Structure 1
């Protein structure tokens, strides 16, 4: 509940700001670090439970807004980072991206590669040449930022080389802006081994799941993804059992 309250407060304070520069600074300084922390926790949990692999290399395209690339980079914390950036975004790279990378990311492991803003044929060749020479480890390509054509090209190259692809999106945006409502973001990861993406919600709500095991007449209550389980066993379920089950659910929520 504390995190929800914090997110709601951030939205209110962001919306109250008058200028674009004020909003950018507030998001960069106050909202971005919190979203990064929440996303990193979800990614670490997915890795811990073997739902997701640990990526050693991350590829990003830096756009005019550094926030999406910075959030993903600091949440993944790769051992090797490759950053493609149009020449006119050099200031963004030097001022808002590199200095704010997580301390665990070794600066010596970062490769920055300038690309042309308009020459798409040259850009494709530049990106393919750089990525095809990478060591064959777990590699993730982020296609969230940059011009659509650049993201499309990086996606094609990733598929050609067998790399995974990710994209940060949101189900809801702050009114009259292109900024996601904090906590409503989701990271989608597409792997070469699955037709369905792995979805990582930035703010994971507690969910109660109830499983009935007919062979043992067992109800299994599970709250969240890793917050513990409660097992309730009953020999025969009838209409009168509904009240018993309701009481058990209420008790379970009080305990958790």
Structure 2
């Protein structure tokens, strides 16, 4: 299919808004939805091919009064067989849907469910899912539309039968009548390995995965409509310890250079780049990054390889900052969405022992935030880890939009010794991040040394612990953090956020402020990490 640019979708969106109400349904159905469906289908097909999985033979879905979610699911998946559950009041919508789908070569079976008797509905759903799993596998269940109780029952039964589950949502606002902003549509599929997402607005992605069972690092690049398999590298058992020890030593040397403002820092960073590309990169990824212009990539990475300073490594291939990291999501990740008060901010003051002008910086930060009436600020002195955990628990009913930690962070050898250092030297650790699960904040900034560091080949990252608990955006650091730079970063970030910039825009402005003050090669530009969207 000819590629349709995002500009075209935006133009169609503007046309849609300006149309009379009675013309909008047909316009979206005929002009917009097919483009979105083609994009999602292409990405799904590539994913299945890359992972050597069969296309879905059967799709089970449910209908609501708005037929577009069901229509988009069917035309994106393009199964051979489709089961459409519906209730009697959706009969007109069903006829409209079937008329649109008539030209397609899909065997469609419609099953009427009772509006009230959900006990019988469960038996009917269970029967048909088992039937199609037996005779027409593999099966995918779409739970986007329909009554919540019915779609929930479909999801539960599918999960118990080990059938993959799909859901269509939008990253952007909905225009009218449940129709998403064109280009914002996202198809989520949960399979036994985790949740995969496919986006109508395709992003350049570099996927770096780690398979613990086979000890392999894999690389894949997604550019536009194409995916590039850049092979994998198997790490031998004796190599693991060598690589881990080598990276640990590099971190120690870089931290020492930052602490003592050593002129040899630049050479250490170059050596680190060479070691990582030499020991971990495949021949294909090196060749690909040299030959292709890979602009604004999103790094989709597993926790076991998140400790690598990829921002620094990719700099040698002229990949510019900022680089957005996206955790490779699996069932460890929470999906809860809080009802936070806009611009509610928690400023957590941790241990500042040995940090130059720490109290002065804290007071300036408080003063700066107090000048913004829209900033609902709550300050908390983290005297000990238990009190900090209690503070977060007490605010679960009114979660914060932004949590800022200012002070020391500590990186240890396990979950209990990695986290935020409180004033009594106790640690709010990876294990304590479970407190965020019921009401995670939207953005967490841990403006402290090594606050996003981890161990290669292991799951020992405070950043990932927060992200798994449901935090949307996490900002932290790889290495030691010099105090003047840390204050400049957080001051610039908050100034932008309070002017209604996005977190990514604010992050980029903070990097620009650091570059303006300290130069384009300053380590702080590659020290800060951004996880989010």
CA distance in 2, matches of 1:87, 1:26: 27
Following superposition, the deviation at residue 102 of structure 1 comes to 6.0
Equivalent pair of 2:172/2:184 in contact (CA under 8 Å): yes
What's the counterpart of residue 14 of structure 1?
16
Residue 79 (str. 1) matches residue 74 (str. 2): no
Q: For 1:112, what is the secondary structure of its paired residue?
A: strand
Equivalent pair of 1:184/1:203 in contact (CA under 8 Å): yes
TM-score normalised by structure 1 residue count: 0.77
What's the counterpart of residue 32 of structure 2?
31
| Deviation string, structure 1 residues 24-51 (Cα, Å, up to 9, x no partner) | 2221121111111111111111122117
Task: Give the alignment's Cα RMSD to 1 decimal.
Answer: 3.2
What's the counterpart of residue 7 of structure 2?
5
Equivalent pair of 1:77/1:102 in contact (CA under 8 Å): no
Q: 1:156-195 alignment to 2 at 5 Å?
A: 156-175=156-175, 178-191=178-191, 193-194=192-193
Unaligned segments of structure 2, at least 5 residues: 209-218, 220-272, 292-312, 321-533
What's the counterpart of residue 45 of structure 1?
46
What's the counterpart of residue 236 of structure 1?
none
Larger radius of gyration: 2
Following superposition, the deviation at residue 153 of structure 1 comes to 0.8
| Deviation string, structure 1 residues 27-80 (Cα, Å, up to 9, x no partner) | 112111111111111111112211754111110101111111111112211122
The one of 273, 290, 293 equivalent to 1:231 is: 290
Q: For 1:133, what is the secondary structure of its paired residue?
A: helix
Following superposition, the deviation at residue 167 of structure 1 comes to 0.2
The one of 108, 118, 121 equivalent to 1:120 is: 118
What's the counterpart of residue 278 of structure 2?
216
Following superposition, the deviation at residue 13 of structure 1 comes to 1.0
| Deviation string, structure 1 residues 136-182 (Cα, Å, up to 9, x no partner) | 32111000010111110101111122111000011112456532111
CA distance in 1, matches of 2:282, 2:133: 48
Spell out structure 1 runs of 4+ moving beyond 6 A. Answer: 208-211, 217-222
Q: For 1:197, what is the secondary structure of its paired residue?
A: strand
TM-score normalised by structure 2 residue count: 0.39
Equivalent pair of 1:220/1:231 in contact (CA under 8 Å): no
In the alignment of these two chains, the number of paired residues is: 229
CA distance in 2, matches of 1:152, 1:9: 36
Following superposition, the deviation at residue 96 of structure 1 comes to 2.4
Following superposition, the deviation at residue 92 of structure 1 comes to 1.9
